[in-house]
Amino acid sequence: MKIGIFGGTFNPPHLGHVGAAQEAIKALNLDKLLVIPDALPPHKALAESSPSAEERLNMTKLAFSGVKKAEVSDMEIRRGGPSYTVETLIRVKSRYPNATLYLLMGTDMLLIFEEWREFRTIISIATLAVFARRGGEDRKIALAADALRNKYNASVTVIASPKVDVSSSKIRELLPLRRGREGLSDAVYSEIIKYRLYGAKPDFVWLRKKAYAMLDARRVPHVAGCEAEAVKLARRWDANEEQAREAAILHDITKKDKLEDQLRLCDKYGIILDEMERVEGKLLHSKTGAGIAKYEFGCDDEVYGAIFWHTTGKEDMSLLEKVIYMADYIEPNRDFEGVEKLRKLAYTNLDRALELGFRMSIEDMRDRNIIPHARTLGALKWIAKG
């Protein structure tokens, strides 16, 4: 039986890691590849603001879920403390005494291998399988490998790395800039955004794709129009444009859900409803959409509030809440009597536009024998006093 051991911080696990694993399985004809995130790397400190070991483990499981013969192990994380490879190899060897072990590593680790804890024990247990990660490394690897063979009778083999130009450190730099997702699997990127690991902010192209997939196709133009309008209003009134874009993209993601599904989501996210909301599904999508935005897409409280109140409004609305309410009302696809007046007013006096919007909405509901929600009535009374 041939077993590969692939350790590292996986901070985060990226497509280069996965490609390297697949190449190793093929090149070494492995029966099993143990992917082992470390608890504390002994050769370097974890980057600042790194996720917990458990979070890295979870991301690693997501990253390697589709790789045949790969098995993600928590043995180093459960052991805790510095993750010395020799201890891991001894444990694997005791579990698989008749297996041939291959320890996967990059060129940088091969070059300092003699600094590793009990490195002689390591080479007595496993073959060193080295990835040539960058061009022009062949000579450097050959010299280091020959030195280890000659001095310690080490077994060293070289594996060609896949041509994936990506590194965990670079991805960590890009994630707060709404970039870097191209180096990650969708499952890993989704997990990072859900918990906003590394200070990540969602790539807007990715966020639109996720949101649009949750919509009735006929609603996509409205959401796109709302996003464009929200950004323009945010710019005009000095609100946060990125928050406005996030809120607008996600504001209607549960619009097509049935009442029973909306109620289940309210229970899931602990959203308290009044009697009117429990029977009127149109009032719920803003609340359940806000819940998904916060708990599945990691949106902050400002964005959550802007989505949560975009249907009824409320007293004491924040600037972002006003922007999203109005953008939803006047986006370019809207066509009703008085919309042009409302559009012009929104860019000259946002509060008066909001007041007019509330009055028009209440009047429209009453014309259709619909009882306006008390929060909308309260919002009108509040804004009219301003």
Poorest-pLDDT segment among 58-67, 227-236, 244-253, 363-372: 363-372
DSSP for residue 211:
H
- pLDDT tens-digit map of 47-89: 888 999 999 999 999 999 999 999 999 999 999 888 899 999 9
Residue scoring higher pLDDT (43 or 128): 128
For 156, the 3-state DSSP assignment is strand
Q: How confident is the model at residue 386, as a pLDDT? A: 74
Q: What are phi and psi of 134, to 5 degrees?
A: -125, 155
Give the Cα separation of 148 and 140 in Å (integer).
13
Domain boundaries, the chain: 2-168, 203-385
CATH of domain 2-168: 3.40.50.620
Per-residue model confidence as pLDDT tens digits over 152-189: 999 999 998 777 678 999 999 999 999 999 999 999 99
Residue closest to 154 by CA, chosen among 133, 130, 138, 137: 130
What is the C-alpha to C-alpha distance for residues 10 and 53, in angstroms, rounded to an integer? 10
Minimal CA–CA distance to 157: which of 134, 123, 115, 118?
123
Q: What distance in Å separates the CA atoms of residue 324 and residue 251, rounded to the nearest whole number?
A: 9
Q: Kindly report the average pLDDT of the chain as a whole number.
A: 94
Between CA 347 and CA 341 the distance in angstroms is 11
Per residue in 296-314, pLDDT (tens digit) is 999 999 999 999 999 999 9
Contact 379, 311 (CB under 8 A): no
Q: What are phi and psi of 185, to 5 degrees?
A: -70, 160
CA–CA distance, 360 with 324 (Å, rounded to integer): 17
Report the DSSP beta bridge partners of residue 35.
6, 72
What does CATH list as the number for 203-385?
Answer: 1.10.3210.10
CA dist 222 and 212 (Å) reads 11
For helices 204-213 and 220-237, angle between their N-to-C axes, nearest 10 degrees: 140
Sign of the Cα torsion 105, 165, 29, 142 reads negative
pLDDT at 132: 80
**271 Cβ neighbours under 8 A, 6+ residues apart:** 265, 287, 288, 291
Q: Which of 122, 70, 72, 126 is nearest to 96 (CA)?
A: 126
* 70-72, strands of its sheet edge to edge: 70-72, 32-37, 2-8, 100-106, 126-132, 156-160
